[in-house]
Amino acid sequence: MLTAAIFLPVVGAALLALIPREREEMLKMVALVVTLATAVVGLSLLFGFDYSDAGTLQYTTDHGWIDVINSRYHIGIDGISLPLLILSMVITVLCVIYSWDHFPEPHNPKAFLILMLVLETGMNGTFAAQDLILFFVFFELVLLPMYFMIGVWGGPNRQYAAIKFFLYTLFGSALMILSFLALYFKGGQTFDIPLLIEQGGAIAHGTQLLIFGGLFMGFAIKVPMFPFHTWLPDAHTEAPTVGSVILAAVLLKLGTYGFIRIAIPILPEAAKSWAPWIGLLAVIGIIYGALGCLAQRDMKRLIAFSSVAHMGFVMLGIATLTDFGINAAVFGMVAHGLITGMLFFIAGSIQERFGTRELSRLGGLLLQAPKMGWILGFCAFASLGLPGLAGFWGEFPAILSAYQPADGLSELTFRVYMAVAAIGTVFAAGYLLWMLQRVAFGTVKPEFENAHIHDLHIPEYIAWVPLLVGILVFGIFPHLIFHMTDAAVSAVTSGVDALGNVAAGAGGH
C-alpha cells in the first residue's frame, strides 16, 4: 500500500509520456486522477494508521534489493513521516489544479506534469524510505525534475538559478553518500535505518563526529541553513509558481527530515556535540533571513528569505534535541509547508496579473482584488506566528524548547539562542506586515489604475481553500499533528536521552 503511494505517480508519468503532446485536456485529467488517487491512498494510510503506536514503523515492506551491498527495499512510516507524506501528496494535487490554466511559458503541459509526478515519487519515497541507499536514491530523484522545472519554465535568470540549485545540492549529496557508506562499514554492514539506530551508538566518537559532519552538509544545504542558503533565493525567485510551492512546501523538509530520521537517532553522541553549532547557525539564519527580507524589492525573493528564517526556527527546535523541540520542528515543517506554499501561490498569481512582483510597483491589491488581498493578509499573519493559526505552533514551542535543551547541552548558550530567536519573531512581524502594506494596502499605482485585475479564478479557489483551511484547523487544533508525532519523536530522542542519563549518572558518582 505504501509502495503504491510512492510509485503511483511515476506510473502516471509513464502514462502521460504515452499521450500525445497535443491532447492537453487528457494529459491534465490523467495527471489529476493520478495525483488524486495517490492522495486517496495517502488518506487511507492516514485512517488506517495506529495512532496509539505512532512511534513504531507501520505499513512496512522489506524486500531484498541489492544483495551485494546489503541494501534492501525497506519502507515504512511512523508519526513523523506520516504528516509530511500527506503534505507532499496534498500539495502535488493542489499544484496540478493550480496549473490547470496557468502553465508557464514555454507551456508544454505534458513535460511539466511528468516532471511534477516524478517529483512526487521522489518526495513520497524519501519520507517512507527506511534504508539509507533507498533514501538517497529518492532524495536525489527530486533533483532532476526540479532542475528542469526551474531551468525550462523559470524566470529570466532561470539557467543560473537552476544550475546553482543543482550543484549546491549535489555537493551536499556527494558528502552524504560518503557518510552513508561510512555508516555501513562502521555500523555493522547494513544500510537499514532502524538497525543502524540500534548499532550506531557503538561507533567511536571521533568517527561519529566526522560522519555527522558529512550528513550535516548534505541536509543543511537542502534545508537550507545559513551559510549554505544562497541557492534558495535564486531558485525560488526564478522557479515557476508551482516549482516554488513544491520547493518551499516539501523539498526543504527533506533536509530537516533527514536530521530527524537519520542523523540524530543514529549518531546521538555526535548530534550532541554538533547541537550548539547547529543551534548557532539556526539563530543566525533566523536573524539573517529576517534582515534579508527587509532588504528585498521582489515579493518572491522576500518570501524566499522568510523561508530561511522559518527553517531557522525548525532547526533551532531540532538542535535542542528534546522531545518538545523536535515536535515543534515537525509541526513547523508542516506549518511552513502550508503557509509558505500559500504565499508563493499568491505571489505567482500576482505576477500573472500585474506582470511584476516589484514591491514598489504594487499596491492597493485590496481595491482591485479584495479576496486575494485578504488571503494574502491571512497568510502573512499566519506566517508571522499569530496564535490561532498554524505558524504559531511551529515557532513558539521551538523558541520555548531552547529554554531547556537536552541534558548535557549548555543551558546558557541555548537561552541566548532563545532570546535571539524571540527577537527574530519581531523582525518577522516587521517584514511580513511591511510586505502586506506595500502590496495590499494603499492606492493602486498609476500604471495599473485602468488595468482589469481579475479576482480569484476557479482553479485558484480549489487549490487554495484546502491550504487555508489547513492553516486554520491546525492553528486551532495543533493536537491533530502533535498526537501523531509525539510518540515517534520520543523514539528519535531516546538515544540522546540515554546518553544524558549516563552522563548524569557518571556525574552523580
Partner 1 sequence: MPFTPPSLDYHALAPEIILTAVLAVVLLADLFLDQSRKWLLSNIAAFGLVAAMVPIISLALSDTDVRSMVDGAYVVDNFALVLKALFLGVGFVVLLMSTNYVEDGDYYEGEFYFLLLSSLLGMVVMSSSRDLITIFVALETLSIPAYMLAGWRKRDLKSNEASLKYYLLGVLASAVMLYGMSLIYGFTGTTVLVDIGEQMAGNAANQPLVTLAIVFIIVGFAFKVSAVPFHSWAPDTYEGAPTPVTAFLSVASKTGGFVALLQLVFVGFFGRDDVWGPMFGILAALTMTVGNLIALRQTNIVRMLAYSSIAQAGYILVPFAIAGSNGGAGAGSAFTATVVYLLVYAAMNLGAFAIVIAVARKTRSGEITSYGGLYEYAPGLAVLMSIFLFSLAGIPPLAGFWAKVFIFRAVIDAGTSWAVLLGVVAAVNSVIALFYYSSIAREMFMNPVPDGDRTPIRVPTPLITALGITAAIVIVVGVYPQTFANFGDLASLVP
Query: Which residues contact partner 1 (rule: CB under 8 A)?
Result: 64-69, 133, 136-137, 140-141, 143-144, 147-148, 151-152, 158-159, 162-163, 166-167, 170-171, 174-175, 177-178, 181-182, 184-185
The closest alpha carbon to 153, from 105, 98, 97, belongs to 105
Residue with Cβ nearer partner 1 (195 or 406) = 195
Q: How far is the CB of 26 from partner 1 (least distance, A)?
A: 18
- The least CB distance from residue 115 to partner 1, in Å, is 11
Q: Which is nearer to partner 1, 96 or 149 (CB)?
A: 149
> Smallest Cα–Cα separation from 330: which of 124, 129, 87?
87
The whole-angstrom separation of Cα 123 and Cα 84 is: 9
- Cα–Cα distances (Å) from 112 to 11, 147, 151, 165, 345, in that order, read 15, 12, 12, 18, 17
Radius of gyration of the chain from its Cα atoms, rounded to whole angstroms: 22
Q: Are 231 and 270 in contact (CB under 8 A)?
A: no
Which string of b and e fits 458-486 if b means at least 16 CB within 10 Å? Answer: ebbeebbeebbebbbebbeebeebbebbb
Nearer residue to partner 1 within complex by CB, 43 or 174: 174
Q: In whole angstroms, how close is the CB of 151 to partner 1 at the nearest point?
A: 5
Nearer to partner 1, 65 or 434 (CB): 65
Q: Please, which residue, 145 or 475, has the CB nearer to partner 1?
A: 145
Rounded to the nearest whole angstrom, what is the least distance from the CB of residue 324 to partner 1 in the complex?
36
Neighbouring C-alpha atoms within 13 Å toward the C-beta of 170: 11
Tell me the DSSP string of 133-144.
HHHHHHHHHTHH
Which residue has cell 538515544?
Answer: 495
- Least spacing, CB of residue 279 vs partner 1, in Å: 27
CB of 196 to partner 1, least distance (A): 15
Compute the distance between CA of residue 364 and CA of residue 88 in angstroms, rounded to an integer: 33
Q: Collapse the DSSP code of 342 into the 3-class scheme (helix H, G, I; strand E, B; otherwise coil) and give the result.
A: helix
Residues with Cβ within 8 Å of residue 454, at least 6 apart in sequence: 353, 369
Nearer to partner 1, 150 or 489 (CB): 150
Choice between 148 and 431, CB closer to partner 1? 148
Closer to partner 1 at the Cβ: 210 or 444?
Answer: 210
CB of 103 to partner 1, least distance (A): 16
Give CA torsion, residues 291, 292, 297, 299, to 10 deg: -100
> CB-wise, 62 or 140, nearer to partner 1?
140
Give me the least distance between CB of 171 and partner 1, in Å please. 5
Closest CB 3 distance from partner 1, rounded Å: 14
Residue entry with cell 505558524: 391
